[in-house]
Structure 1
Amino acid sequence: MATYITLLNWTERGVSAYKDTARRAEDFSAALNKLGARLVDIYWTDGPYDLVCIIEAPDDETATAASLQLGALGNVRTTTLRAFGREEMRGIIAKAAG
């Protein structure tokens, strides 16, 4: 499975319902599972982003579908980054080197 780091910012709607954020995280995890993906971890953060999620998904299309579903709820805006682990990066380097 591919790894994705999703940076989230609350919308006005999301922050006004901050008391529900833990439940919304559980709902997001369940929605990911239905798509064949997995919420590895979630962190509530200080700074430019309100939350950071680490997600595993079988492909970019699944990760994008998850972001669309989440964004459609109106509580957050997302920025998703494809992340590569150490072994994946070694393979990329080997491929680039020819």
Structure 2
Amino acid sequence: MKYIALINWTDQGVQAAKDSPKRLDRARDMGHAYGVSVEQAFMTMGDVDMVCIVDAPDDAAFARFGLKLAGTGAVRTRTLKAFTEDEYRSLMNSL
């Protein structure tokens, strides 16, 4: 299952912004414990500091990962469940 994680740094995360690449590496390692893979990460400008494309076996695994990530205190996330193009086309064809 695919997810889009919209990530904002907390005050703590901003104070240690230069450590953000290390935190991303740790998040990727953390995700493996839940079967979660951070496939792509983008630093963004605007209302959101980072956007990540994430793959997880199910909603529960992603939720555990997200809670563990938020527990670090450096980020807050909003999540969009995403459908691949094949899933999207299949869904539309079933209407």
Letter in 2 for 1:18: A
Q: What's the counterpart of residue 68 of structure 1?
A: 67
Cα distance in 2 between the residues matched to 1:13 and 1:48: 17
Q: What's the counterpart of residue 90 of structure 2?
A: 91
Q: What's the counterpart of residue 52 of structure 1?
A: 51
Question: Per residue, is there more helix in 1 or in 2?
Answer: 1
Identity percentage of aligned residues: 37
Q: Which segments of structure 1 move beyond 6 Å, counting only runs of 4 or more?
A: none
TM-score, normalized by length of structure 1? 0.93
Q: Deviations over 1:2-34 (max 9, x none)?
A: 110000111000000011100000000001111
The count of aligned residue pairs is 95
SS across alignment from 2:30? helix
Cα distance in 2 between the residues matched to 1:92 and 1:30: 33
Q: Deviations over 1:69-92 (max 9, x none)?
A: 010110011001000111101221
Q: What's the counterpart of residue 20 of structure 2?
A: 21
Matched, 1:37 2:43: no
Cα distance in 2 between the residues matched to 1:19 and 1:90: 41
Cα distance in 1 between the residues matched to 2:61 and 2:93: 27
Q: Deviations over 1:14-61 (max 9, x none)?
A: 000011100000000001111111110111111000011110000011
TM-score, normalized by length of structure 2? 0.96
* Structure 2 unaligned regions, length at least 5: none
